[in-house]
Amino acid sequence: MRSVRRCAAISLAATAALTLAACGGGGSASSTGSAHVTLTWWNNATAGTLKNVWQQAATAFHQAHPNVTIQVEPIQNEAFTTKVPAALAGNDPPDIYQQWGGGQEATQVPSGKVTDLSKYTSSWIGEIGTAAQGWQVDGKQYGVPYDLHTVGFWYRKDLFTKAGIASPPATITALDADVTKLKAAHIVPIAVGSKDKWPDAFWWEYFAVRECSTATLKSAMKAVNLSNPCFLKAGRDLTSFMNTKPFQTGFLGTAAQVGAGSSAGLVGNGQAAMELQGDWDPGVMAPLTSDKNLNAQLGWFPFPTVSGGAGAATTVLGGGDGFSCTTGAAEPTCADFLKYLDTPAVQAKVVSSDVGLPANSAAASALTMPALKQVLQYSHSVTYIQTYFDTAFPTSVGQALDAAIADFFAGQGTPQSIIAAVKASASQ
Amino acid sequence: MTHAETAAATATNDEPAVAAVQSPRSARRPRGLRRTAELVLFLSPALLLFVGFVLLPIVLAAFDGLYNWTGFGPLGRFTGLHNYALVLTDPVFREAFTHNVIIAVASIALQLPIGFGIALLLNRRIRGRSVVRMLAFAPFVLPYATTAVMWSLLLQPGGFVDQIMKQIGLGRLVQLWLANLHLVLYTMIVVLTWQFFGFAMLLMLAGLQGIPAELREAAALDGASGWQTTWHITLPLLGPTIRIWMFLSIVGSLQVFDQVFIITGGGPANASATMATYLYQRGFASYEFGYGSAIAVIMFIICFAFALIYQRFVLRRDTRGALTRAVG
């Protein structure tokens, strides 16, 4: 009997505790002023050099501001997809989190948990240049980039030489000819990681960037509308390009960045001659191959021009990585920290970890790889940076576009079906 | 994970608590009152957890499904049952559901004979029995993600599987296991079978241990052959075990996510998509939380309806027997 009663008491206590826990919660409000401030920082650097760079940055910021502690919490890149919505819906989001800007950021802003940083950043954001606009929503700065990206072709000089290709192609016609030459030399011309969908999207998007004028691109992004015929032409260009069968066998099942069998791994190990990818690709390839001399073998060229296309050859597809602060974070401390990440000293370290081009071009000299210097030089000469469509569009539309392009790569779509998918998703 | 959850779910469905309340009819009133008080006290933590973490989320999801909600800020535009209608008419969802059904049927068709065969073999005293048992059960114990990563490496074009097939003279049969739209679902079925046949084996092995040896002996004395004994004695007596395993297997097949998501992401062109990968793609990756909630609710209804029908028509005789014994 006694034990029964004690048990009953315990379960009553447990019930009460649960109820209390449910009612309580939340409440790690960061203090302001001279009191001690802790900022939790969700970033995607779970491995490699960048992880150390961020840790060093957090430590250095703490040393300069002893009342501020930055708690670094690296989170696997893909986990942000589920963690950020959950965090912004809850009462206790991280103070700083990974932000890719564009339509995704615009989708997050209505949560009311993302801080408008405009008044803190207005004095210095000019140093970043026009790229910072990618992290604005309705002209307000809700995020700050720490690196910028440019998509183009990474190719292996040794395989090009072997196939008798003297210089990288400047036009699609020349690219077609090079594909033929590489095939004749029994070399896989181009690797693509179709399993991940977004690498497929790069292809369609770049044809669109070459076929459509800058004004058309800008208005299409704003209106979330691809009705201009140039987007249909992009699909037709892609159809005829894919008819040359330029990709590796079984590309539909190939991942982009994971494992030696990924598209990055194939190029890194000399099993394919080139890949249309972001500037981060050498950094992705390095751990996937034992070739220590890889960087010397890699060359870069921009997406070739399409004859008759309305797009300028100086237009580039790109994007970048950045951070946002949430409304619970102490200001201006959080904004100050983001500013600190864009100072030339930190930027130089970011750049040396091969993750991308510096957001602050003052750190450009820290780039060591010749091909990356070439990418940076090219990106400074461009007249317009078109953000990846899936990031520029609202997230649901961007994902629908990626899926439609991936279906197209799998032979389950037409140039029209890509346009139709965007239209259907945008009208939902 | 899904297996454990469903096992727990079926355990609670037997409702021993109800039986316990009804049994002491002779008790005097104060004792009855006290008993009720005790029950309330003991059950309340579990009940609170159940309501808070099972019932409430389901109700909330059904509610969120009525809105065009991005997952951020207020619920947005009320669209009634529009999301539910969209899900049910989306060809991708229908394709995914068909894939789930194919996986469920194939799981039973493959894992039942394999599991039963190995269980029969291991029920005898043979050399190295425990080693074989461990090996057969090992895939089930592996984390799903580990299995998925391992198989995606093995199945690369020109990878381990292709090399082995070439070595044993089957090089002509080598296919693009993950890139062929017509094949990829069946590749996934092989992976799922590899992972889960050990579970079928383990359950049936446990079931076999419960069959008295005397029955087989008696049948043998009456002149039944080994095959006849297995077919007419062992298999029928293993019925309850097989039926509960089939239940777990089908529910697991309807909810399969991890392996498919990691190996193919549901692609190429949705050729290996399941309801759960479709849910992830639309709910999380596309920030369509209202739509995703609608998918989740429809998935729940499908699983729940199946569970009810299966319990009513297939499991009834098994659970009833168990209940009468417990109460009586």
Domain borders along chain A are 37-149+318-383, 151-316+387-426
Of A256, A225, A200, nearest to A427 by C-alpha is A225
Chain A residue at shortest CA distance from B261: A195
Do the Cβ atoms of B41 and A18 come within 8 Å? no
Q: Exposed (0-12), middle (13-18) or buried (19+): which is A426, by Cβ within 10 Å?
A: middle
pLDDT band at A4 (very low <50, low <70, confident <90, very high): very low
What secondary structure letter does DSSP report for A123? T
pLDDT (tens digit per residue) in A364-403:
888 888 888 899 888 888 888 899 999 999 989 999 999 9
For residue B212, is the peptide bond before it cis, meaning its omega torsion is within 30 degrees of 0?
no
B40–chain A nearest CA distance, Å: 9
CB contact under 8 A, B70 and A395: yes
Does domain A151-316+387-426 fall under CATH 3.30.70.20? My reply is no
pTM for the whole thing? 0.84
Please tell me the predicted confidence (pLDDT) of residue A9.
45
* Under 8 Å between Cβ of A346 and A362: no
Residues of chain B with pLDDT under 50: 1-27, 323-328
Residue A357 dihedral angles phi and psi, to the nearest 5°: -90, 150
Indicate whether A244 pLDDT > 80.
Answer: yes
- Residues 6 or more apart in contact with residue A10 via CB below 8 angstroms: none
Q: How far is A104 from chain B (nearest CA, A)?
A: 9
Backbone angles phi, psi at A34, to 5 degrees: -85, -5
Task: Give residue A29's pLDDT.
Answer: 40
Q: What token pair was written down for B85?
A: 């209608």
| CATH tag, B93-327 | 1.10.3720.10
Chain A: residue nearest B159 by CA? Answer: A261
Q: Are B65 and B294 in contact (CB under 8 A)?
A: yes
The mean pLDDT value of chain A amounts to: 88
Which of A14, A251, A399 shows the shortest C-beta gap to B286? A399
- B269, A411: Cβ pair inside 8 Å? yes
Angstrom distance (rounded) from CA A115 to CA B76: 21
Rounded Cα gap, residues A256 and A248, in angstroms: 13
Residues in chain A with CB shorter than 8 Å from the CB of B159 are: 261
Torsional class of A138: left (φ above 0), alpha (ψ -120 to 50), beta (otherwise):
left
Which of B72, B271, B284 has its CB closest to that of A81? B284
CB contact under 8 A, A104 and B287: yes
Superfamily holding A37-149+318-383: Periplasmic binding protein-like II (3.40.190.10)
Please indicate whether, in this complex, the C-beta atoms of A107 and B38 are within 8 angstroms of each other: no
Which residue from A4, A19, A85 is facing B287, i.e. has the nearest CB? A85
Find the residue in B nearest to A263 (Cα): B156
Query: Do B269 and A406 lie within an 8 Å CB cutoff?
Result: yes
Provide the CB-side half-sphere exposure for B50 (13 A, CA): 9
Which residue among B52, B73, B281 places its CB closest to the CB of A110? B73
B91 interfacial to chain A (CB closer than 8 Å)? no
- What is A216-260 written as a DSSP string? HHHHHHHHT---SHHHHHHHHHHHHHHTT--BPTTGGG--SSSST
Chain A residues within an 8 Å CB radius of B45: 11, 14-15, 18
Of B86, B157, B284, the CB nearest to A249: B157
Which residues of chain A are within 8 Å of residue B52 when distances are taken between CB atoms? 18, 22
Q: How far is B290 from chain A (nearest CA, A)?
A: 12
B299 touching A, CB under 8 A? no
CB contact under 8 A, B156 and A261: yes
- Judged by CB atoms closer than 8 Å, whether chains meet at A7 and B42 is answered as yes
Does the distance separating the beta carbons of A395 and B286 come in below 8 Å? Answer: yes
Judged by CB atoms closer than 8 Å, whether chains meet at B48 and A18 is answered as yes
Residues 6+ apart with CB under 8 A from B154: B160, B161
Cβ-nearest to A250 among B41, B71, B176: B176
> Which of B288, B94, B14 has the alpha carbon at shortest distance from A398?
B288
Local structure of B25: helix, strand or coil? coil
- Torsion of Cα atoms, A149 then A147 then A100 then A45, to 10°: 110
SS3 A74: strand
Same fold, A37-149+318-383 and A151-316+387-426: yes
Percent of chain A with pLDDT over 70: 92
- Please tell me the distance in Å from A383's CA to the nearest CA on chain B: 31
- With CB atoms and an 8 Å threshold, state whether B268 touches A395: no
Segments making up each domain of chain B, as ranges: 93-327
Give me the mean pLDDT over the A293-318 stretch. Answer: 93
Contact between A406 and B268 using a beta-carbon 8 Å cutoff: yes
Q: Work out the minimum CA distance from B44 to partner chain A, whole angstroms.
A: 7
Tell whether the torsion through CA atoms of A241, A244, A246 and A248 is positive or negative: positive
Per-residue confidence (pLDDT) for residue B140, from 0 to 100: 94
Residue A30 has pLDDT above 60, yes or no: no
A16-30, A77-91, A352-366, B273-287: which range is least confident on average?
A16-30
Closest residue in A to B53 (Cα–Cα): A22
B271 contact A CB<8A? yes
Chains A and B form CB pairs within 8 A to the count of 123
pLDDT of residue A192: 97
The complex scores an ipTM of 0.82
- pLDDT tens across A82-137, in order? 899 889 988 889 999 999 998 889 989 999 999 999 999 999 998 887 788 889 99
Chain B nearest CA to A399, separation (Å):
6
d(CA A32, CA A109): 23
Q: What confidence score (pLDDT) does residue B45 get?
A: 92
User: Does B159 contact A at CB distance below 8 Å?
Assistant: yes
Band of the pLDDT at A34, cuts 50, 70, 90?
low
Residue B167, token pair as written in the block: 């070595």
